[in-house]
Amino acid sequence: MLQSKTFLEYVPERWREDALRMADALRGGDRFIVSGHVNPDGDALGAVAALGHILRFLGKEYVLYSATGIYDYLEFLPLPGILRNSVGTLPFRPSAAVVVDCSEAGRVGGDLEPMLASLPVFNIDHHLGEPMPAAARWIEPGAAATAQLAAYVGLALGVPPTGDFAQAIMLGLVTDTGGFLHGNTSADVLKLTALLVENGCDLHGLRERLESSWSMGRLRLWVRSLGGIRCARDGSIALCTVTLEDLQRCGARREDCEGIADQLRRLRGVRMAALLREDAPGTFKLSMRSAGTTDVRAVAARFGGGGHRNAAGGLLTMGREDAEDAVLAAATEQLNREDAPAD
């Protein structure tokens, strides 16, 4: 495959072979179904949209899928096709699946999950986990976002870094770098961002759409939840819990919890921030954030989860107080381990 000047300039040398390999795999297939994980965040949705644009550029038949639909705050993103929530509504039977921002088949959810066992899967992700069987796979935990990898695949194929494709990539970058504040905001990320902006992507407008469209329910929820912070280990760990009752009383939705863990990390002295969100009675989704070398992935792994060193999550099935105590104890143990003198 001929490598363009843009590809050579903007795709890190260490990832070029993988980008070209995935590009060749997509070029050889057709009739794709493209999906991310359930309840897609900005990176998952951005990567799904980006792959749709890539497949359209290649002249392939494809459909976009999300078992749970998308959150209201992400509805501004232009999608290259209808987002389906059931394989029963597809206009054709897929011959292959592209799964992004999700290396485990169980996280795709819905009626697509069992279908994956009978399809060639092309898997692109930046999370470590238990990978699903795949015909082609690119798992790169060193990337800041799956959308970053999708951009490199697009550049390998000659997709112009403009328009809705660029906006989809930028959404993933902004989301998974915390607005370019997290430690994963590398020179490669900034270089790719510059390319997108140079080609007309409205970074400021995208940030405005993400950050200046709060509902009153979300504001009430943040006031309520941040008023109940629990701290441990001399203030180096901070935790908030959002219950089903909190959501109901505030008139808020689950997606309104996005960003609370990042806000907790702003407290002086906090090294680990955690949010417990009750998704069903006695079932809490854990989201954790840190900075630098502090490893929250090790804590999330204690609860069957995963992610990255500075951003990870898991699941706890127990009462609220027990869940809070378990997370604070695991976080304390991890920080004690990290701070222990070397032998």
Cα-based distances in Å from 54 to 60, 164, 167 = 9, 11, 13
Which range has the worst mean pLDDT, 23-27, 78-82, 173-177, 338-342?
338-342
Average pLDDT, the chain: 94
Domain shared by 318 and 239, yes or no? yes
Place of tokens 């008139």: 251
Q: How confident is the model at residue 33 (pLDDT cuts 50, 70, 90)?
A: very high
Express each pLDDT in 37-88 by its tens digit.
999 999 999 999 999 999 999 999 999 999 999 998 999 999 999 999 999 9
Rounded distance between C-alpha atoms, residue 26 and residue 200, angstroms = 27
Domain-terminating residue out of 210, 234, 262: 210
Express each pLDDT in 194-246 by its tens digit.
999 999 999 999 999 998 889 999 999 999 999 999 999 999 999 999 999 99
- Is the pLDDT confidence value at 103 over 90? no
Q: How confident is the model at residue 2 (pLDDT cuts 50, 70, 90)?
A: low
Task: Please give the average per-residue pLDDT across 164-192, as a whole number.
Answer: 94
Domain shared by 180 and 40, yes or no? yes
Q: For residue 267, what are the domain limits?
A: 216-339
- Is the pLDDT confidence value at 279 over 80? yes
What is the domain-level CATH number for residue 289? 3.10.310.30
Share of the chain above pLDDT 90, in %: 86
Domain shared by 204 and 222, yes or no? no
Domain shared by 297 and 206, yes or no? no
Domain shared by 170 and 255, yes or no? no
Domain shared by 149 and 9, yes or no? yes
Query: Residue 87 has what pLDDT?
Result: 95
Cβ partners under 8 Å of residue 208, min gap 6:
none
Q: Are 54 and 154 in contact (CB under 8 A)?
A: yes
Domain shared by 86 and 175, yes or no? yes
Task: Please give the average per-residue pLDDT across 257-275, as a whole number.
Answer: 95
Domain shared by 122 and 260, yes or no? no
- Is the pLDDT confidence value at 259 over 80? yes
Domain-terminating residue out of 159, 186, 210: 210
Rounded distance between C-alpha atoms, residue 149 and residue 154, angstroms = 9
Q: pTM of the full predicted structure? A: 0.89
Rounded distance between C-alpha atoms, residue 115 and residue 168, angstroms = 26
Q: Are 294 and 308 in contact (CB under 8 A)?
A: no
**Sheet with strand 62-65: strands edge to edge:** 83-84, 62-65, 32-35, 96-100, 121-125, 136-139
Q: For residue 117, how far is the Cα from the chain centroid?
A: 23
Domain shared by 111 and 187, yes or no? yes
- Is the pLDDT confidence value at 276 over 70? yes
Quote the number of domains for the chain.
2
Tokens standing for residue 174: 């902004």
Domain shared by 85 and 189, yes or no? yes
Task: Please give the average per-residue pLDDT across 132-149, as a whole number.
Answer: 94
Rounded distance between C-alpha atoms, residue 299 and residue 332, angstroms = 9
Domain shared by 186 and 294, yes or no? no
Query: Residue 1 has what pLDDT?
Result: 58
Domain-terminating residue out of 184, 210, 236: 210
Task: Please give the average per-residue pLDDT across 92-113, as a whole number.
Answer: 93
Express each pLDDT in 280-337 by its tens digit.
999 999 999 998 899 999 999 999 888 888 888 999 999 999 999 999 999 999 999 9
Domain shared by 202 and 238, yes or no? no
Q: Are 166 and 196 in contact (CB under 8 A)?
A: yes
Query: Residue 57 has what pLDDT?
Result: 98
Tokens standing for residue 237: 């760990």
Alpha-carbon Rg for the chain in angstroms: 20
What is the domain-level CATH number for residue 193? 3.90.1640.10
Q: Among candidates 126, 119, 85, 80, which has minimal Cα distance to 102?
A: 126
| DSSP string for residues in 2-53 | PPPHHHHHHS-HHHHHHHHHHHHHHHT--SEEEE--SS--HHHHHHHHHHHH
